[in-house]
Amino acid sequence: MSNTDTSATPRVALVTGGSGGIGHAIVQRLTADGFAVAVHYAGNAQRAQDIVDEVVAGGGRAIAVGGDVADENAMAAAFDAVETELGGIDVVVNTAGIMILSPVASLDLADLDRMHRTNIRGSFVVSRLAANRLRGGGALINVSTSQTRLQHPTYAPYAASKAAVEALTLILARELRGKDITVNAIAPGPTATALFLEGKDQQTIDRLASLPPLERLGTPDDIAEVAAFLAGPARWINGQVIFPNGGIA
């Protein structure tokens, strides 16, 4: 019997980038579903601890774990801490990533290297650990972007890094045959996080909000709903890229 059917102990999720806007919403949603949650951070330890305190105050169970997602030793230590303190790992939601926008012709290759280190190497590090550490009935959920389909100018470096995440996700799902572990990616459209809104004037925000037929930006809660579905009941969805973007593409 898989751990999905176990009621004696809560399932455990590790959310990388859990102190960010989408990561925070996913932590809240999984906590509401009864998960014990590890809130991962790269630089903002206090923000992660504040989220842990929020979960605990609401009656949930949570810990904070730190580390550079591209550093295999730091992330192995983070996985160790989750297993030691929460008893194991059933779900990994890998939201950690950075976005640097630039036309290809004027791209600073140092920015490209920095972004690809976090988004590509980081996703491989986390996915490799998840492939070896997740319990049966578990789920790995990586995060891509709808920009892999939209082809908007200045997004090429970022979209290229996320296209690599999609390829990793789809192939890993097939490599884990027989382990009862699902591997999927979420590819959000424009989502109203503080990071997304920073530096954009109202005209730009309104233009992006008008793109989907639903005529609004996504919210972190919209993305968290999809993550919760893939983390829990969606056992027959595997090796897929899901596009929560209101029909933009």
Half-sphere exposure of 202 (CA within 13 A, CB side): 0
Q: What are phi and psi of 43, to 5 degrees?
A: -130, -30
Rounded Cα distance between 183 and 171, Å, is 9
What confidence tens digit (pLDDT) does each residue in 63-76 have? 999 999 999 999 99
Assess whether pLDDT exceeds 80 at residue 199.
Answer: no
**Which position among 35, 155, 158, 243 bears the catalytic label?**
158
Instruction: Please report the beta strands in the chain, taking only residues with DSSP state E, as ranges in sequence order.
Output: 12-16, 36-41, 62-66, 91-94, 138-143, 181-186, 241-242
Of the listed ranges 1-15, 38-52, 210-224, the one predicted with least confidence: 1-15
Topology, domain 8-242: Rossmann fold (3.40.50)
Rounded Cα distance between 3 and 216, Å, is 38
pLDDT at 8: 56
The structure's pTM equals 0.93
Rounded Cα distance between 126 and 72, Å, is 8
In angstroms, how far is the first alpha carbon of the chain from the final one? Answer: 39
Reported confidence tier of residue 49, pLDDT bands at 50, 70, 90: very high
Active-site residue 158, yes or no?
yes
pLDDT at 169: 98
Percent of the chain, pLDDT > 90? 88
Q: What are phi and psi of 41, to 5 degrees?
A: -140, 155
Where along the chain do its domains lie? 8-242
